[in-house]
Each structure stands twice: as structure tokens, then as C-alpha cells.
Structure 1
Amino acid sequence: MKIVISKEAMTWFKEEMETKSGEYIHFYARYGGSSSLHDAFSLGVTKEQPMDPSVEYEEDNIHFYIESRDEWYFDHHDLHVNVDKELKELTYSYKK
């Protein structure tokens, strides 16, 4: 399992979330919504320090991670993060 961040998504994180070098972005399973992997759960994203990361990706000294407790959500899929050009929002896809 890995995290793949597109160039457009990196720009989005820097501009929309005002993410700076040295900060951490946490992807986590949250109750509510739905995804292609699970009904009643969707992916959340926030800036916070990791506690027990199982998957990490770093670019431009910005750290993206998934905690061990949320591995179940991804069901052994890689997380691909991109941006919807019309809506200017993050999109997520999951690939084995």
C-alpha cells in the first residue's frame, strides 16, 4: 500500500490547506459519506502530527501518512490523490 500525490494535488495542499515544509497531512477513515471501497465511510484529510503511521509519503518536505488504525479502510489498495479541475477539489482513487 502506498500514497501517490499528483503535481496538481501538491499545489492544492500548498494553496488550499496552506501546507508548509515540515508539516504533516493525515488521511483517515471517517464515518459518513461513501467511497468506492466502503458504504457509510469516506476519506478525511487533516493537518496533524502522526502517532502510529503505517504508510508515509514525503515530497517537498511535506509528509503524507495513514495511521495503522485506518489500514482496513484501504483494503490493500494504493491511495491516488488528484484534483478535479472543474470543482478544484481533491479526488481519491484506489488501485491494487
Structure 2
Amino acid sequence: MKIEVTDSASKWFQNEMGLAEGNGVRFYGKVYGKTPVHDGFSLALTRDDHPEEVYTETKKDGITYFVDAGDEWFFKGYDLTVDFDSKKDPDNVVYTYTENGEL
């Protein structure tokens, strides 16, 4: 699994969450909601500056974006692109799941 964070999403995270170099964001699956690839579960995030058991991670502008090993089930088989486009939706980050053939 790969995580890609676009420049505009990185800026959004820095502004909205007050993130700076050395900080982190953990993505995880939570009960309730829906994604394009999950019914009954949605993607959630939290600030987490101290990842422990990392399934995958990427760094953008000195910030670590990651998924813990315990949340592998939610993301396995997909890459995640995190984007932000204020023209499309000024209040929401856009998450795109792309199949990667990982089983």
C-alpha cells in the first residue's frame, strides 16, 4: 500500500491541524459510514506524532502520514491518494482508493 499526499492536501493539514515538521497523521478505519470500497466503515484520521507498528507511511513536508499495522485490513489491496480542492469542496479532503493488486 502506498499513501500519496498532494501539495494542496499537505497545506490543508498544516493549516487546519496546526501541523509542522516532525508531526504525524494516522489514517484508520472506523465503524459506521461508507467509502467507495467499504460499506459500513469510513476513513478517519487523528494526529499521532509517535507511530509504533507502522503498516505503511509516507512523508510530505516533514510530516509523517501513516497507517498502523492494526488497520491493515481497511487499506489492504488499495493505495490511498489524499487530495484537497477548495473549488470542489471547501470543507473536505478527498480520499481516492486505487486497487493495487495486494492480497
**TM-score where L is the length of structure 2:** 0.87
1:95 — aligned with what?
Answer: 98
RMSD: 1.1
Q: How is 1:8-47 mapped onto 2 (pairs within 5 angstroms)? A: 8-47=8-47
Percent identity between the two aligned chains: 33
Post-superposition Cα deviations, 1:24-66, rounded to whole Å, max 9, x if no partner, equal: 1100011111101111101001101212111010122110100
Q: What is the aligned length? A: 96
Match for 2:34: what amino acid?
S
Q: How is 1:1-80 mapped onto 2 (pairs within 5 angstroms)? A: 1-48=1-48, 49-80=50-81
5+ residue gaps, structure 1, are: none
State the 4+ residue runs in structure 1 displaced beyond 3 angstroms.
none
Match for 1:57: what amino acid?
T
CA–CA separation in structure 2 for the residues paired with 1:92 and 1:59: 16
**TM-score where L is the length of structure 1:** 0.93
5+ residue gaps, structure 2, are: none
